[in-house]
Amino acid sequence: MKVTHNQSGLTLRINICKGHDGKFVAECLDIPGCMSQGIDEQEALKNVSDAIKACLGVMLEDFIQKNRKPVEETCEGKRQQFRVVSPELELVGA
């Protein structure tokens, strides 16, 4: 099964199969370790969609932390910082 995110054109591959316990397991093949489950295929797909958002949020934060570089002052003035936190990042405690 392929799931396409229409706004960005991103296509993520999702594998859904029935587990030994009768629940459906959904795994995003493009994000290692990103999986979820549900009582039926539709719930598993919704749950893995939430897991994808959380995983991407964590990956983005990791990328920014690893690639942050010092910047040169372009003008004199007050320097401020602010933190942007998406709901997905709050869910995973970031």
Q: What is the pLDDT of residues 54-72, one digit of tens each?
A: 999 889 888 888 887 776 7
User: What is the spatial distance between Cα 44 and Cα 46, in angstroms, rounded to a whole number?
Assistant: 5
Q: What is the pTM of this model?
A: 0.67
Please check whether residue 10 lies inside any domain of the structure. Answer: yes
User: Tokens 């010092």 correspond to what residue?
Assistant: 70
Please check whether residue 92 lies inside any domain of the structure. Answer: no
Please check whether residue 85 lies inside any domain of the structure. Answer: no
User: What is the spatial distance between Cα 57 and Cα 54, in angstroms, rounded to a whole number?
Assistant: 5
Note down the domain range covering 5: 1-56
Please check whether residue 68 lies inside any domain of the structure. Answer: no
For the ranges 35-39, 62-66, 90-94, the maximum mean pLDDT occurs at 35-39
- pLDDT at res. 93: 52
Please check whether residue 6 lies inside any domain of the structure. Answer: yes
Number of domains observed in the structure of the chain = 1
CATH number of residue 5's parent domain: 3.30.160
Please check whether residue 9 lies inside any domain of the structure. Answer: yes
